[in-house]
Amino acid sequence: MTAPQAARPLAPLPDHRNVLDARWQQAWARFARVTTPLRERGLICDVQYGLDDWLVYAWPPGHDSVVLIGARGGWLVTHEAPAEDRTSMTVFYDSTASSGSRDLHDIGPLLSAIDALLARLPHRPSIPQLAGAPVVEVPAPPPAMRGTRSR
């Protein structure tokens, strides 16, 4: 690992109640060799149980599209259209057809394919930048008061 790679912060862990579940934690640890390099690339990752195995999900920074990575006899990586659409899913890496169990352990080609996808996606900041715009503080409205009528 080079010095610039070591300095990159990891994307945050998913924010849901399953992170406290022992089964989820075991699955997260099982896929750490994949999720850690993805998080180094800024992708927020999660693991969820699919039809018959755990899947890795990764969201590119600033995009609401998702990359799904299956681990059943190889990696199948897809890029899905924005969440509202769900009509367009493109396979951009598939090692499930190749023979040998080493495909699950050799993630170099998988990461290269994801890097190529990230390079094609438009760069959008995850937090909008204010380009020299003045920041004006707006006071919060007063709390709503309940009426106290007597009958």
* Tens-place pLDDT, residues 12-47: 888 778 888 899 899 999 999 999 999 999 899 999
pTM here is: 0.69
**What pLDDT sits at residue 9?**
86
From residue 1, alpha-carbon distances to 36, 40, 66, 111, 143 in Å are 13, 12, 27, 15, 53
How far apart are the C-alpha atoms of 19 and 106, rounded to whole Å?
Answer: 27
With beta carbons less than 8 A apart as the criterion, state whether 54 and 47 touch.
yes
Q: What is the token pair recorded at 150?
A: 């007597």
Mention every residue, 6+ apart, whose C-beta is less than 8 A from residue 63: 82, 121, 124
With beta carbons less than 8 A apart as the criterion, state whether 63 and 121 touch.
yes
Helix (H) or strand (E) holding 80: strand 76-80
**What pLDDT sits at residue 130?**
41
**Stronger pLDDT, 143 or 20, i.e. the higher one:** 20
* Tens-place pLDDT, residues 79-130: 886 656 666 788 888 888 765 554 567 789 999 999 998 888 876 554 444 4
**Stronger pLDDT, 61 or 107, i.e. the higher one:** 107
**What pLDDT sits at residue 29?**
92
**What pLDDT sits at residue 127?**
44
**What pLDDT sits at residue 128?**
41
Assign 139 to helix, strand or coil: coil
Q: Alpha-carbon torsion 57, 108, 95, 34, what sign?
A: negative
